[in-house]
Structure 1
Amino acid sequence: MNWGMKIVIGLGTFMLFIVGAGIYMVTQDSDSLLDDDYYEKSLAYDEVYDRKQNLVDDHAKPSIRLEQDTLVIVFKRPINKGQLVFRRPSDGTLDTKIPFYTDTEVFRLPISTFVKGSWSLEISWENNNKAYIDTQSLYVQ
């Protein structure tokens, strides 16, 4: 076999690899985006920014702790209404939205059914007609 044939075989193998990789990428339907409606959310980011600024201005960042199988969220003021969004970075099918209301500063949520591991928790709530949003990481054991 001469050097010309080796070059042709090498180029042919490389082309087959590229075509195979392209077909594999096209047939896969997994997209690693966190949100399917990211464009709509980016258009409404001013509201999110205002909520985050309210959090900083009012020193209203809630504290989060895990007590056995319960997530405890301690707010700075009583009477809070909002939504908890749990996002699992490794598996988007486990993402969960939970509405909440509490008359006191403390909100407790049983999390024994949650898969163990890393979670991202987004808390959006209202207190005295003022909207807040906070994002924190948490590790369920």
Structure 2
Amino acid sequence: MNWGKGIMLSIIGFICVVMTMVVISVRMDGIELVTDSYYEKEIVYQNQIDKEQVTLDQGKDVISLNSQKKVVLIDLPHGVKGTLHLYRPSDVSLDKILPLQGKENGKIEVPVGKLKAGYWKAQLNWEENGVAYYQEKKMTF
């Protein structure tokens, strides 16, 4: 075999590999956008950034995970209302949105043992004394 045939076989092999990858990518199921209303949410995203910055500035850390008990612990002050969004990036159909209200006797326990194991984001929005807050934690359970 000479150089010309070797180079030609290498090019043909490369083209076959690339075409195979393209066909596999096109046939993949389950490719989802992060959210259905992506463009509308992008417009109001600066509000989300502002709420997150206020939360960081005031040193509020209200979300934690207890892996042994398989619960997400939320520490909201008594009477404060919020919304917890358990967000699964790989499958939007598994998302859960839960309304919460702060308890006088301690932290709110949100059981996560029945959720599909894997990567989740816990996103909490709440308002306290007229100030809007937002915190997000990445969790694997």
Give deviations 1:33-91, integer Å, cap 9, x for gaps: 5444443322212211221233134443315242624332113x321212111233565
Across the aligned residues of Structure 1 and Structure 2, the Cα RMSD in angstroms comes to: 3.0
The size of the alignment, in residue pairs, is 139
Contact 1:78 1:102 in 2 (8 A): yes
Residue 125 of structure 1: aligned partner: 126
Structure 2 length as normaliser, TM-score?
Answer: 0.72
Give the whole-Å Cα distance in 2 for the aligned partners of 1:52 and 1:34. Answer: 19
Gaps of 5+ in 2: none
Give the whole-Å Cα distance in 2 for the aligned partners of 1:135 and 1:85. Answer: 9
More strand by percentage: 1
Give the whole-Å Cα distance in 1 for the aligned partners of 2:69 and 2:56. Answer: 30
Contact 2:75 2:102 in 1 (8 A): no
Give the whole-Å Cα distance in 2 for the aligned partners of 1:5 and 1:138. Answer: 53
Please state whether the residue corresponding to 1:54 is helix, strand or coil.
Answer: helix
Residue 62 of structure 1: aligned partner: 62
Give the whole-Å Cα distance in 1 for the aligned partners of 2:5 and 2:32. Answer: 42
Contact 1:79 1:127 in 2 (8 A): no
Residue 136 of structure 2: aligned partner: 135
Gaps of 5+ in 1: none
Residue 28 of structure 1: aligned partner: 28
Residue 82 of structure 1: aligned partner: 82
Which amino acid in structure 2 is aligned with residue 86 of structure 1?
A: L
Residue 13 of structure 1: aligned partner: 13
Structure 1 length as normaliser, TM-score?
Answer: 0.72
Which amino acid in structure 2 is aligned with residue 129 of structure 1?
A: G
Residue 95 of structure 1: aligned partner: 95
